[in-house]
Amino acid sequence: MKKNLMIAVLMTIATTVLLGIIYPLVVTGLAQLFFKDKANGQLIVQNGKVVGSRIIGQAFVGPGYFHSRPSAAGNGYDATNSNGSQLGPTNQHLIDRVKTDVASNQADNPGQSVPVDLVTTSASGLDPDISPAAAEFQVPRVAKHRGVSEDQIKRLVQEHTQLRQLGILGEPRVNVLELNLDLNAKFPTK
């Protein structure tokens, strides 16, 4: 019995060291060596300052910016509180919020159907992308505020539209942060 107990203790120590210390250090080292950008959160740096991440959404509220999907993560885009709203389709709070968001979006584009991703949250609450339809819906507001033609803004949206991966995976999408950064660079607000 004493021999079995000693074997169990030694195996626990060996597997803890191997799988709890050595393996994570090797994987982290390889990730830093071969995939540094992805391993560090795909950060976007401008003028030596981190302005955001390609994979975590941010709130943009000004009329001269493309707006992201609504976020249910904490107080909005809180990565430490990643979560969907957990509200069911018959929940009155959800219904009221969606109605308010639809009315707000339609004020910018009267008579236009509002793309669903502009009024619904993603499962994580941190989605960095919107659909091309959601981006195109916002073009008139952004163009008007920036004082440029809608065609110029539409071309910018098309440049930032990413197609399905391998032609079949996912949906076409537009990264809002990258689009807004390019918007600031090409058409600064006056």
Residue 91 has pLDDT above 70, yes or no: yes
Residue 75 has pLDDT above 90, yes or no: no
CA–CA distance, 127 with 129 (Å, rounded to integer):
6
Look at residue 76 in the predicted model and tell me its pLDDT: 67
By C-alpha distance, which of 160, 123, 122, 121 is closest to 138? Answer: 160
Residue 74 has pLDDT above 80, yes or no: no
- Label residue 158 by pLDDT band (50, 70, 90): very high
The answer to which of 8-17, 75-84, 116-125, 140-149 has the lowest mean pLDDT is 75-84
Residue 82 has pLDDT above 80, yes or no: no
Contact, 159 vs 178, CB < 8 A?
Answer: no
Residue 60 has pLDDT above 90, yes or no: no
Element (H, E) at 124: none
Q: What is the mean pLDDT of residues 56-85?
A: 80
**DSSP 3-state assignment of 175?**
strand
For 2-22, b where at least 16 C-beta lie within 10 A, e where not — what string?
eeeeeeeeeeeeeeeeeeeee
Residue 108 has pLDDT above 80, yes or no: yes
Residue 29 has pLDDT above 70, yes or no: yes
Query: What does the mean pLDDT of the chain come to?
Result: 88
